[in-house]
Homo-oligomer: A and B are copies of this chain.
């Protein structure tokens, strides 16, 4: 007989999932109700309003896709890209590459604009590509690149899309709740995120929002979207306004309890306060890491405070350190991906996990494990550097 699964209690400081607020875990376990229950319809309305708050948008077409962030990405592409469409895709990490995959599977043509991993997307290159491809219909880019910790200038890139009469598709899976996401201010057209990063909810849902311009493009499609599950015409008949909710698929009820609670918590804290908290804990962690001579991959101006991508000291056994952090400290940090694999760690300070306790734990644990790896470490120095940062902000 198989036994019930009781997970170890970890501290999640990787690239996501991040530590989940216990209020959200409790919300998940509330009694299930039907997906057409009047009480559930009320919940859906509140989730939509809270997502509009989080995204800073008045877009009516704002809802959580019933699947993880990569399905949120695909929802944007299958609804906005038709066979033969040209899409300019800016790539500066893993997720721009996944966007290319999406474009091609929709039968579109991806025009790639490459920047080095760890750099922000260069608006000049994007402008050049849009000028060189005047027939392009969409510009797609990643606002907060989870694979490198780089933040790109979403406002400027969305402005370029508008200037060239393109729709913009923006990945802010790691951005929402951790740094400013200003969908209406940017004039972004299709934006997707995830629940398991700075919203501190469990993985499994993907908040998305579409501008009126994007919604009009979806309505004006000549062919149905190639995905039934992700067809927004159908999804919106269920999530849309009005008394009659047309059954589409069975919504993931309890996961939505969790997302609702996560958004209530964000509303209680306030967006600006949440961003400031992510900033402060990042600065404290960065002070500690620098005292250990651990360097950031991304320059200071473009760093995501919630995802610290750092080069570990020469000679250190990457996998051994991460394994020991997990075994001895129940602490998860992330490995590098792609060209950064085996060279960097990704240390997340996302949502509920972005707190002083985690910063000090991480630095103290790293001091200990690195010393065991033979790296010269002054015990307590990194923790002290972080504490000094907190003191200077008190």
Contact = CB atoms under 8 A, between A and B. Distances in A.
Given A14-B34, A17-B253, A32-B19, A263 B2 contact: yes
A16 to B, nearest CB: 6
Interface string A56-100: 000000000011111100100000000000000000000000100
Interface in A343-372: none
A264 interface: yes
Interface in A11-70: 12, 14, 16-17, 19-20, 23, 25-35, 37-40, 43, 46, 49-50, 66-70
Interface residues on A, range: 35 or more
B6 A105 contact: no
A232 to B, nearest CB: 14
A177 interface: no
A373 B104 CA distance: 58
When all copies of this chain in the complex are counted, the total is 2
A260 interface: yes
A149 interface: no
B37 A332 contact: yes
Contacts of A28: 25, 28-29, 254
Q: Secondary structure of the A side of the interface? A: loop
B29 A26 contact: yes
Contacts of A249: 68-71
A195 to B, nearest CB: 9
A209 interface: no
Interface stretch (A111-119, A219-227, A374-382): A219-227
Contacts of A102: 228
A163 to B, nearest CB: 29
Contacts of A27: 4-5
Contacts of A203: 32, 35, 250-254
Contacts of A20: 31-32, 254
